[in-house]
């Protein structure tokens, strides 16, 4: 498999991860709720302000879209889409488990 195809598949995977990570930060920021972020103390456990979460979520969303533009993903059942959804699914499971523990649910 040529290196360019491998790089596109890696971009698809990370686009899914960044897109998934943008959702909780954007939603909490837009709802005005604090939420853990990498900028909180302690990192990933303490709460960050809604503004910080919105900005972090927006940066994740822009990064995901940039990776999708680079990777030329097609919305059809192909390897790129499967990797995108796999990263979204795996990060979603991890984040729901992690922040469920942090928030005491």
| pLDDT of the residue at 43 | 87
Q: In the structure encoding, which two tokens stand for residue 84, read together? A: 């995108």
Write down the H helix ranges in 3-78: 3-31, 50-71
Neighbours of 74 (CB within 10 A): 9
| pLDDT of the residue at 95 | 78
- Distance of alpha carbon 80 from alpha carbon 84, whole angstroms: 6
8 A C-beta contact, residue 29 and residue 61 = no
- Mean pLDDT per 10-residue segment, the chain (105 residues): 88 94 92 91 89 92 89 76 85 78 69
* CA neighbor of 73 nearest in space, from 55, 56, 90, 88: 88
């Amino acid at each position: 498999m040529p290196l360019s195809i491998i790089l596109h598949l890696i971009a698809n995977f990370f686009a899914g991860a960044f897109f998934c990570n943008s959702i909780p930060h954007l939603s909490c920021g837009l709802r005005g709720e604090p939420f853990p972020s990498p900028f909180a103390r302690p990192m990933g456990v303490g709460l960050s302000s809604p503004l910080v979460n919105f900005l972090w979520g927006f940066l994740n969303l822009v990064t995901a879209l940039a990776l999708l533009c680079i990777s030329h993903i097609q919305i059809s059942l192909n390897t790129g889409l499967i990797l995108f959804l796999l990263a979204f699914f795996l990060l979603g499971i991890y984040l729901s488990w992690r922040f469920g523990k942090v928030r005491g649910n």
